[in-house]
Amino acid sequence: MAATIRARVTKRVDKFGNPVVSYQVRWLEPIRDEFGAPTGKFKQTSETFDTERKAKAHMRKVENQLEGAAGVDPSSAKLKANTPLGTYARQYFDSLVGIIDPNTIEGYEKIYRSHIGPVFGSKPVAAITTADIAQFRASLLAPYLRYRRPGSKASPSTGLSTRSPKTVKHIVGTLKRILDVAQDDQAIAANPVIANRRRTTKRTGQPFKHHPLSANQIASVVDWIATDHVMVREESNSAGPTGSTYIRQGNDVYALAVLFTAHTGVRASELQGLQVQDVTLSDIPGTVGSIRVERTAKRKNRDWTYGTPKSDASSDRVVPLAPWLADELRVYLTDTHPFSAMNTAGNRYIPHAPLFPGRRNRYVFDWAKPVCAASLYEHYLQPACRSLKLGQVRFHDLRHTFATMNLSAGEHYMQVSKWLGHSTFVLTLTTYADYINEDEVVAPKVGRGTVSTENVVPLERKVN
């Protein structure tokens, strides 16, 4: 079954008018069943080259593969080498189903669609080189103009943005895992993403900083959201021209939602997943309450999907409520929420009703659906911070606010870590080490100790 070369005279001619000879490499290749085992039958396969030298080189390669222990068919190897990266990306994402959280898989797919697919998606995996990876990494680290959605109310960017080295490492790491699938399939001999090569994780520009607020600033934000304001239109619309004024109505429910988030440290998806049955309150005012965080809710294509918190430490954790916050939440569940166990409207208690409602429109709540944290940020938290000149505050900064306020007040970092649901105490230390209160000099509690003579035998001088 050795490979052979056949010279064939083609109909083409060279510049001197002589016929062009091509060289066809032919070999018999085993036919395999659906499980990849040889069936005992063979098929003839060929490949044509312009020069005899190239044909002989390919013939040696074919014979080595046929005689090798790997048992890879030459034509199959070529087909795999020409497979686009997108095919192996799909195989990689499909292999993750049932192993990791669906939201995590969706995050990987988003990384692929945004960064990897446009560059390598249609490129054969064998054509991707280490130099291509280096150029791809450099382009990710280069400054870029952030995309602004048409019609967005966000202020336009004044300059270029840069991705952090950790973000770039995450993107390249996703590409490496996709190429690992191609390597396991023997489409490529080695992964062009070189692992364990030391690279700096330092930013070349201004480092990113969290923007936690103080308790007084949170109180001001909550008061702004709950109060009516006279606003000036920045853009003309059907309600009036640019520069005209209108009354922005306050919203007590969403003001409490912001206050609640800042003083419990729940994530956005955890806030959306909270239900009235997760709240434990005493009938006695001025007493501590608590919430149990055991589910998340995320909206995609206007449909809500429920899952579990980010880590095992986040699942089924209990976060205490300060007495004053428990009192405000009790008033809300009694006078405002229509489906709580203590509602005064006479409605039936629905334990799985969302703690904070969504919106049907600008004026009506939808108590059957949870609050959307993105909408809460865009329409309430961000305008309040902008009006109060508090800077660029993200919704996740409310979680940082909870951590920094409690650590600055003297709470032990291990207790704060449990309330936050961090996977390790080290994460809490590395993130909030600067906020741990170390101003006061406290004397060590361990004493010097005293000498005990009860078990001491005095030494006697030896008499000669």
Digit-coded pLDDT (tens) for 182-205: 999 888 989 999 865 555 555 555
User: Taking residues 367-394, what's their average pLDDT?
Assistant: 93
Instruction: Please indicate, yes or no, if residue 437 is contained in any of the structural domains.
Output: no
We report the CATH number of the domain holding residue 123 as 1.10.150
Q: Is residue 462 part of a domain?
A: no
pLDDT the model gives residue 69: 43
Based on the fold, state whether residues 60 and 178 are members of the same structural domain: no
- 280 and 362 both lie in a single domain: yes
94 or 429, which is more confident: 94
Residue 141 resides in a domain? yes
**Residue after which a domain boundary falls, among 401, 427, 448:** 401
Which domain-ending residue is among 72, 105, 121? Answer: 72
Q: Which domain covers residue 288, as residue numbers? A: 216-401
The predicted model gives 238-242 an average pLDDT of 84
- The whole-chain average pLDDT of the chain stands at 85
Question: Which whole number is the average pLDDT over 132-157?
Answer: 74
CB 253 within 8 A of CB 372: no
Q: Within this chain, do residues 28 and 136 fall inside the same structural domain, yes or no?
A: no
Least confident of 195-209, 245-259, 370-384: 195-209
Q: Are residues 262 and 395 in the same domain?
A: yes
Give the CATH number of the domain where residue 247 resides: 1.10.443
**pLDDT over 90 for what percent of the chain?**
48
Pair 228, 289 in one domain: yes
Residue that is last in its domain, among 345, 370, 401 = 401
Average pLDDT over residues 397-404: 94
Task: Please check whether residues 111 and 221 belong to one and the same domain.
Answer: no
445, part of any domain: no
* Same domain? 255 vs 109: no
Note whether residue 28 is domain-resident: yes
Asked if residue 193 is part of any domain, the answer here is no
Give the chain's domain count. 3
pLDDT at res. 154: 46
The answer to whether residue 273 is domain-embedded is yes
* 222/321 same-domain check: yes
Same domain, 237 and 277: yes
At residue 65, the pLDDT reads 75
Q: Are residues 244 and 319 in the same domain?
A: yes
pLDDT at residue 442, as a whole number: 56
pLDDT tens, residue by residue, 339-369: 999 998 889 999 999 999 999 887 899 999 9
- Could you tell me the pLDDT band of residue 138, with boundaries at 50, 70 and 90? very high
* Within-domain flag for 171: yes
Same-domain pairing of 64 and 94: no
Same domain, 337 and 361: yes
